[in-house]
Amino acid sequence: MSDRMTQSRGLLLALLLLAAVLVLAGPLFLDRFTMNVLTRSMIYAILALTVDLLWGFTGILTFGQSAFFGAGAYATAMVLTHLGGAPEHFVLAFVLAIAIPTLLAALVGWLSFHQGATPLYATVISLVVPIVMTQLIFAGGQSTGSSSGLVGYPTLALGAANHFRLAGVVLIGFGCLAWVFVRSDAGRMLVAIRDNEMRAAYLGLRVQLVRILLMTVLGGVAGFAGFLLANAARMVAPEIAGFVFGTQLVIWTALGGRGTLLGPVAGTLGIDWLGAKLSGELPFLWQLLIGAIFVVMILFLPRGLAGLVPRRRHQGTPPELVAIPTRRRADAVGPVLSVRGLGKSYGSLHVLESIDLEVHRGELVSLVGPNGAGKTTMMRCLSDGTEPISGSITVLGRDIGGLPPERIVRLGVGRKFQLASVFESLSVADCLRLARMSLDRPSLLRRSRRIGLPAPAIDILRLTGLDGMLNQRAGLLSHGQKQALELAMVVALEPELILLDEPTAGLTKAERAMIGGVLQRLSGELGHAVILIEHDLDFVRIVSQRIVVLHQGRMVMDGTVGEVVDSDLVRAIYSGAANA
Amino acid sequence: MVLVLDSLTTAAVLFIVSSGLFMIFGVLQIINFAHGAWLGLGAYATVVTTALGVSPWLALPLAFVVGGVLGGLTERLVVRPLYARPLDAILATWGLGIVIGQLITLAFGRDVQMIPVLMTGTVDVLGTAYSAYRLTAIAIALAIGLGFVLALERTRLGLTARAVIMNEALARALGINTARVRLATFMLGSAVAACAGVLLTPLTSVDPNMGVIWLIGCFMLVMVSGSSVRALALACIVFGTAQVAVGTYVSPILGGMTVAVLCALMLRLRPKGFAGV
């Protein structure tokens, strides 16, 4: 481990100790009012952290965390009001305060995240949930106290000082857990989903499931915070479950700095505490000020106050690339890919018509044809079973109709996009880790020091010099390097069938030759099946064994390199004469 | 009979209140969370006309002008840098809404305002006495809807707006000043929203944050309607009726959330909503 890393660890540990001391010793020197306010603020800060994990890290703008918080607080208050304050009732209240919001969050997650849902849809749902929750509370009559809330129920008899300590300890504990998680291998998935959902899905990551799980767990955390508040504040009111409180959480998170962990905590503590202090003297001006600062921040400082702190180059020694043995491929008989009568149309426009194709192990098939011939559309149909098509596509004997991309990747299909598609804000090493996550279960706690990759993926990295840039942010790579990185990521999936859409576009001649060599090795030596879209007929001639020619959505030729390249038909198509 | 009238008038009110948000989302694909503030502004225009002792109907042109000017400023200063960040645009406009709400509070106080109603009395509809104003709302909604359709299909601004909706890059390449179309749309949408705020005054209590209650319902209706006026009209009628039905037969409190819940479910089952119906 490098000195720098030890140093930053030491700094964090010191910070942690300081926080712990402040939280434990705070009641000794804080006045009663400040202590009560800060107890509440710290509970809110837990919520802000959940908002931040969802929005700042994963890109799901949510106004709904207040609903789960309210559900937890009301579950607690209702149990204690209606059943009484015996020890077993506190246990019951605690269990329900976590269980109900967890279940609710799972339901909301299922509703919000599904194949083809836009990010906006999750936001829409997150607006509806707190509204429903508030209306249910209003409609609850005696049991929920309706608009006046519940008050005067038995609470944990800790005293104000210990409530302060409890809230502080929970906040620090959850903050540490969140810190460990977002830095772990699994935690990189959140940022990957935020950066490039499509690439994540095409690496076999179950994007929607990850989001649902995250929302479920964080719903439970919000419920726990609700339990704390119901005990510390000794009252619950409908506002805490409402949409306006939900937006407030987002504002605190944004002002402190989304995508950081300290930012939202600092933002919440600072604003809630200042607000309580100042709102007595200038009630409306304070809100006005917060609103105005918020607008200005969103416009000019989207990263919040944390954006003022320069980003540390925190990465120490780069991880180590280790070649792992390639998986033994099941020696199943039959073709890797079999396409029967594939057709695809948009209304009356037929993009693909009655395509039949079989691709076997060890074959490198080039798909050529002029622009608009339907090549990329065909790739999309092969890798996304939810595309409406006619005919059938089977991969390794399995019909892929209706399967989402991540399932097809897990069947053994890797796809490289036409435009280089990587995770811009992650490092090269993290991009490669993500490529392996559908195969090697990632750790929730640790960040691995070694990245195990199949040999051909390492070859690509070596040949392009990317192996020396593992700590570089992927967004800063050159176009050619991004192409190579994406190719290495796809190869790291060890797919039976590799789909490559112009992998050499924008590369230099030397780089093309290098990629060509890798492709030949993948198909020839290692037995992968490869389908390659390529315009450069010289390149195609060198690397492929078979060429398929598409023209106006139909397959017009399927033959060996010699047959196709020298045919008059191909010349005619490329010179435009066959359009008539 | 009352139920039918209630449903129709509720649909009409929903349509009037949503129309400003709809214009802005339909053309700009931006969700204007300051919409609630525009409604509030409009309602307070009525407070001003009352204080001046003139007819409350004069609040309409006043709201139109104030809404338009503020809408223009908003587009210029807040929304324009955020077209590429639509989620951030939601947040920035929400922040703006807070600012406007607080400014109204500073100017007029936070209490509920008493305002003379625009129109009193009832009309006899097939043997049922019914509020004349709620019936007028139907006429106003029809007028706005017709105005939209005509504006989109018959005017030059409508044509360019449609071009921007379909393909902004191409529209710009053809020499359409898309920045001006956006500005005009945002101004008009804000002005219409402020007028809707005036029209709301007889139906709801007027306080600085009155718009927030309406915001979510409007937002959901616009979400299921996309860029189609007909879809918005249909959504208002269907969900307005559902709201009245739930409010009457189940519970008035649950009726208040009917629109939002049904819209959310509809988007889950049919992501395009009513667009294309």
What does the pLDDT look like over A9-37, one tens digit per residue? 788 888 888 888 888 888 888 888 889 89
- Distance (Å) from the alpha carbon of A2 to chain B's nearest alpha carbon: 38
- CATH number belonging to domain A361-389+399-579: 3.40.50.300
Q: What mean pLDDT is reported for chain A? A: 86
- Interchain CB distance below 8 Å, B216 and A114: no
Question: Quick check: A46 pLDDT over 90?
Answer: yes
Choose between A102 and A85: higher pLDDT. A102
CB distance B107 to B221 below 8 Å: no
What does the pLDDT look like over A115-132, one tens digit per residue? 777 778 888 889 889 988
Q: Does A137 touch chain B (CB under 8 A)?
A: no
- Look at residue A580 in the predicted model and tell me its pLDDT: 40
A356: three-class secondary structure by DSSP: strand
List the single residue in A with minimal CA-CA distance to B254: A135
Choose between A71 and B255: higher pLDDT. A71
- Interchain CB distance below 8 Å, A124 and B223: yes
Question: Quick check: A265 pLDDT over 90?
Answer: yes
User: Which whole number is the average pLDDT over A459-481?
Assistant: 85
CB distance B62 to B173 below 8 Å: no
User: Which whole number is the average pLDDT over A231-259?
Assistant: 91
Neighbours of A88 (CB within 10 A): 9
Chain B residues with beta carbon closer than 8 angstroms to that of A120: 31, 86-87, 223
The shortest CB-CB distance from B216 to any of A121, A127, A284 is to A127
Cα(A472)–Cα(A318) distance, rounded to whole angstroms?
Answer: 10
Q: Residues of B at the A interface (Cβ-Cβ below 8 Å)?
A: 31, 78, 81-82, 85-88, 90-92, 94-99, 101-103, 105-106, 110, 212, 216, 219-220, 223, 251, 253-254, 256-257, 260-261, 263-264, 267-268, 271
Which region among A67-71, A367-371, A490-494 has the lowest average model confidence (pLDDT)? A367-371
Tokens of A275: 């607000």
> What is the pairing mode between strands A337-346 and A349-359?
antiparallel
> Mutate which of A63, A112, A113, A128 to test chain B, going by most B C-beta atoms within 10 A?
A128
Residues paired with A550 in a beta bridge: A555
Residue numbers of chain B with a pLDDT score lower than 50: none
Chain A residues with beta carbon closer than 8 angstroms to that of B251: 139
CB distance A241 to A107 below 8 Å: no
Tokens of B121: 């009395």
Cα(A141)–Cα(A371) distance, rounded to whole angstroms?
Answer: 66
Which pLDDT band holds residue A526 (cuts at 50, 70, 90)?
Answer: confident
Alpha carbon distances (Å) from B251 to A138, A204, A296, B244: 11, 47, 42, 10
What does the pLDDT look like over A552-574, one tens digit per residue? 888 888 888 878 777 777 777 77
Look up tokens 């726990």; give the residue: A224
Domain boundaries, chain A: 11-243, 361-389+399-579
* A-B Cβ pairs (cutoff 8 Å, strict): 101
Question: Quick check: A3 pLDDT over 60?
Answer: no
- Look at residue B171 in the predicted model and tell me its pLDDT: 80
As a whole-number percent, the residues of chain A with pLDDT over 70 amount to 95
- Residue among A481, A479, A480 nearest A470 (CA): A481
As a whole-number percent, the residues of chain A with pLDDT over 90 amount to 24
Q: Which letter does DSSP use for residue A306 in this model?
A: G
Question: Quick check: A4 pLDDT over 60?
Answer: no
User: Which whole number is the average pLDDT over A284-306?
Assistant: 85
Neighbours of A476 (CB within 10 A): 12
- Distance (Å) from the alpha carbon of B268 to chain A's nearest alpha carbon: 7
Chain A residues with beta carbon closer than 8 angstroms to that of B271: 116-118, 121
- Look at residue A329 in the predicted model and tell me its pLDDT: 60
Q: Which residues have a Cβ under 8 Å from the Cβ of A356 and sit 6 or more positions away?
A: A339, A340, A341, A342, A555
A35: three-class secondary structure by DSSP: helix
Longest dimension (CA), chain A: 91
CB distance A224 to A97 below 8 Å: yes
- Distance (Å) from the alpha carbon of A298 to chain B's nearest alpha carbon: 6
Query: Residues 81 to 120 of A: which have CB under 8 A from any B CB?
Result: 111, 114, 116-120
List the single residue in A with minimal CA-CA distance to B98: A291
Which pLDDT band holds residue A104 (cuts at 50, 70, 90)?
Answer: very high
- Look at residue A65 in the predicted model and tell me its pLDDT: 95
Look up tokens 């559908």; give the residue: A438
Cα(A212)–Cα(A186) distance, rounded to whole angstroms?
Answer: 15
- How many CA atoms lie within 13 Å of B88's alpha carbon, on the beta-carbon side? 23
Chain B residues with beta carbon closer than 8 angstroms to that of A145: none
CA B125 to chain centre: 28
The angle that helices B210-225 and B229-249 make with each other, rounded to 10 degrees, is 120
Cα(A507)–Cα(A512) distance, rounded to whole angstroms?
Answer: 6
- Residue among A52, A12, A58 nearest A425 (CA): A58
- Look at residue A332 in the predicted model and tell me its pLDDT: 62
